[in-house]
A and B are shown apart, each in its own frame.
Chain A
Amino acid sequence: MSGPLYLLLAIAVMAAATFATRAASFLLLRSHSRHPLVLHLGRYLPPAAMTLLVMYSLKDVSVLEPPYGLPHWLASAATAAIHLWRRNALLSIAAGTGLFMWLQQSGILG
Chain B
Amino acid sequence: MFGYVPLGLAFGVLFAQLDYAWYYATLMGLIVYAGAAQFLAVGLLGAGAGLVEIGLATLLLNARHVFYGLSLAPRFPPRGASRLYLMFGLTDETYALLASRKPPPAVAATRFYLLVTALNQAAWVAGCTLGALLGGALSIDTRGLEFTLTALFVVLVVEQARAIRDPRPFLIALVSGAVALLVVGSEHMLLVALGLAMLLLFLGRRRAYA
Contacts and interface: CB of A to CB of B under 8 A. Distances in A.
B177 A51 contact: yes
- Interface majority SS on A: helix, strand, loop or mixed? helix
A105 B141 contact: yes
Q: Which of B6, B59, B141 has the most CB of A within 10 A?
A: B59
Given A47-B164, A101-B145, A76 B37 contact: no
Interface in B137-188: 141-145, 147-161, 163-164, 166, 168-170, 172-174, 176-177, 181, 186
B168 to A, nearest CB: 7
Contacts of A75: 147, 150-151
Nearest to A83: B158
A53 B62 CA distance: 10
B154 A79 contact: yes
Given A96-B151, A101-B144, A50 B32 contact: no
Contacts of A109: none
A98 to B, nearest CB: 9
A48 B180 CA distance: 14
B62 to A, nearest CB: 4
Interface of A: 1-2, 4, 6-26, 29-30, 33, 36-60, 71-72, 75-76, 79-80, 83-84, 89-90, 92-94, 96-97, 100-105
